[in-house]
Amino acid sequence: MIAMAPDQEQSARTLSSVARDRRARLGLSLRALEERCVDPETGTSVGRNYLDRLEKDAPNLTPPRAPELRALAIGLDLPLPLLQEAAGYQFHGVTTRTSASSKAQAFVAQFDELAPEDQDRVLAMLEAYAGKSRPVE
């Protein structure tokens, strides 16, 4: 899967708009996308009917479960966290704090893969740098 950083426009977008725009960008038919949308962990797939309803933001659309989101991430070739954020926004009104900076996004992605003790060291270093940049009162 390509690790694409979401752009500013996608940071508070619905899953429907992300899926619709990405499928168009990839030049895929609904049938071709359906074939790609399979969760590697469970084998769960996302059907063409659901994809069509999702893209149209149909009323009473059922929020996707974790296996379906993983399948969508594979099919759309997008990072799972991007789809989780978009689904959270669309179905639950949840917004997350995101950064337009690709450097910050790369930092977060790498930070999450560090061991807990290394995360603590990085946080201490950030706090030390932040303290230096603050005006002395």
Task: Please say whether the dihedral angle defined by the alpha carbons of residues 84, 72, 22 and 105, taken in this order, is positive or negative.
Answer: positive
CATH class, range 8-92: mainly alpha
pLDDT at 133: 54
What is the full per-residue pLDDT of the chain (137 aa) written as tens digits?
333 344 434 445 899 999 999 999 999 999 999 999 999 999 999 999 999 999 999 999 999 999 999 999 999 999 998 899 999 999 998 887 666 677 777 777 777 778 889 988 988 888 888 776 545 54
pLDDT at 97: 65
pLDDT at 1: 39
Q: Where in the chain is the domain with CATH 1.10.260.40?
A: 8-92
